[in-house]
Structure 1
Amino acid sequence: MSQRILITNDDGVDAPGIAVLQAIAAQISDDVWTVAPDTNQSGAGHRFTLRRELEIEQHADRVFAIIGGSPADCVVAGMTHILGDKPADIVLSGVNAGQNLGDIIHASGTAAGAREGALQGAIAIAMSQSIDFKEGQEIIWDTAARHGAATVRAILAAHAGDDVYYNVNFPACPPDAVSGIAVVPHQRFSRSPFRYYASHNAGKFFVAIPETPLPLSPDHDFEVMRRDNAITVTPLLLQQTDMAMVERMRGTLKL
């Protein structure tokens, strides 16, 4: 029996990357469902829409949009309602238009879709296709399309039921130039990459990433993907407690 797969993203149900992910998932299972936001939700992180009604809109067989919903909303609706009494075994989120590397994952709706999938009990993988923003390059999906299914299968084979989800980034190179899969930590930046960015309109501004904070570690996701043309895979913990600090601080905090 095929494993049931739920797909979501943060670029919207009609985004080209979700069609790439549907094709990837179809190589793994014949039981694939899509529940995604109706509009772009990039940067939404793990936001839930609380105290406001949401609406499910069916677009095609096993394809649904959540009107006004976030990626996390979509996974909740899919896993606890749309898929009925058989929630997905695997949640795939993406393929995002642009990389989700380093501390950017904390704001990523793509990563949050996978994280909520793991919290709901599935094996969950966030997937992003990188792009050279400095060169103004158009995103090319060939690398994710060619190597996506093999990458998912490799992660599924290695997954041991640990309390993790996975963040995958495909390099901005032709599929034949990919060097392989590298399992790496995510880059901790010296400071948040998000900054105030002035608009040309008086009194207005953007929150943006004008530059990548330096230095970058040579063995972490940013540099390994860029330098080696490697598909980076980063296992991320759901349990975020610093257990060493718990032991160090236990008994030391007093009123």
Structure 2
Amino acid sequence: MALRILITNDDGVDAPGIEVMTAIARELSDDVWIVAPDGNQSGAGHRFTLGRELSIDERGPRRFAVVGGSPADCVVAGMTHLLGDHPADLVLSGVNAGQNLGDIINCSGTAGGAREGALQGAVGIAMSQAINYEQGHAIDWSNARRYGAAAARAILAASPPRDIYYNVNFPTCAPGAVSGLAVVRHQRFSRSPFRYYASDNPGKFFVAIPETPMPLDPAADFEQLRQGHAVTVTPLGLQQTDTAELLRIAGTLTLAQG
């Protein structure tokens, strides 16, 4: 049976990255479905829209927009309704316009879509194309286009376990300068990169990332992407229990009175 693929993203169903992801998916299978938010949901993380009605807008054959929905909402709608009795084997989330690295993955709607895909029983892979913000906000999709399907094939060939999903980032260098595929941990920053950022409008502010917290681990995703020019792959766990800490404190915590 052919691989069934569900595509979602957090930039919206009309974002250019979803067309890049569709091209990647079609290198893997002809059974490709798109279920994505009708607008930008960047930073939505794994948010669900609970207690508020959503609607589905059919945009074409196997292409749907969830009006007002998050990436996680879209995966639920696709896996448990639109794809009928044959949910997707692979959920591809992205390709995001801009890198999703380090602790930023905790709020990433792109990662949230892949995570929900894995929770629904599929292989979940988030993909992001990096931008060199020092040179502006223009995005070159060349590396995502050239290496996206190969990265997905490599992950699928490794027989992904049930409790894992994957975060993939493509570097900004020329395609011929890509050093290869690096399986790396994500960067743990010394503090959250998110900060209060004052607006030019009195009394208003943004939540933004004005600078990257230092130092950076040369072996982690951030530097392997930026300095190593690698396509980075980070396996992430659905089981979030810290086993080492569980074992360390088991039997030591008590509800002392006083």
Instruction: Report the TM range for the smaller structure's normalisation.
Output: over 0.9
**Shift of residue 247, structure 1, vs aligned partner:** 1.5
SS at match of 1:222: helix
Q: String of CA shifts for 1:3-33, please: whole Å, max 9, x gaps.
A: 1000000000000000000000001001000
SS at match of 1:228: coil
* Kept after mapping to 1: 8 A contact 2:95/2:129: yes
> 2:194 is matched with which residue?
194
TM-score w.r.t. length of structure 1: 0.99
> 1:158 is matched with which residue?
158
Letter in 2 for 1:18: I
SS at match of 1:196: strand
- The CA distance in 2 between the partners of 1:140 and 1:245, in whole Å, is 42
Question: Structure 1 unaligned runs (5+)?
Answer: none
Letter in 2 for 1:234: T
Q: String of CA shifts for 1:106-157, please: whole Å, max 9, x gaps.
A: 0000000000000000001000000011221400111100111111101100
SS at match of 2:227: helix
SS at match of 2:151: helix
**Shift of residue 159, structure 1, vs aligned partner:** 2.7
> 1:174 is matched with which residue?
174
Identity %: 72
Letter in 1 for 2:241: T
- The CA distance in 2 between the partners of 1:119 and 1:193, in whole Å, is 27
- The CA distance in 1 between the partners of 2:26 and 2:124, in whole Å, is 16
Q: Which moved more, 1:41-50 or 1:240-249?
A: 240-249
* Kept after mapping to 1: 8 A contact 2:123/2:160: no
Matched, 1:49 2:49: yes
Matches within 5 A, 1:15-94: 15-94=15-94
> 1:222 is matched with which residue?
222
Q: Which moved more, 1:84-93 or 1:135-144?
A: 135-144
Question: Structure 2 unaligned runs (5+)?
Answer: none
- The CA distance in 1 between the partners of 2:248 and 2:137, in whole Å, is 48
Q: String of CA shifts for 1:48-85, please: whole Å, max 9, x gaps.
A: 00000000000010000000000000000000000001
- The CA distance in 2 between the partners of 1:213 and 1:197, in whole Å, is 15
**Shift of residue 162, structure 1, vs aligned partner:** 4.2
> What RMSD, in angstroms, separates the aligned Cα atoms of the two structures?
0.8
Matched, 1:204 2:200: no
Which contiguous aligned blocks of 4+ residues in structure 1 show a shift greater than 6 angstroms?
none
- The CA distance in 1 between the partners of 2:95 and 2:47, in whole Å, is 19
> 2:131 is matched with which residue?
131
SS at match of 2:56: strand
- The CA distance in 1 between the partners of 2:43 and 2:34, in whole Å, is 20
- The CA distance in 1 between the partners of 2:249 and 2:218, in whole Å, is 32
* Kept after mapping to 1: 8 A contact 2:180/2:231: yes
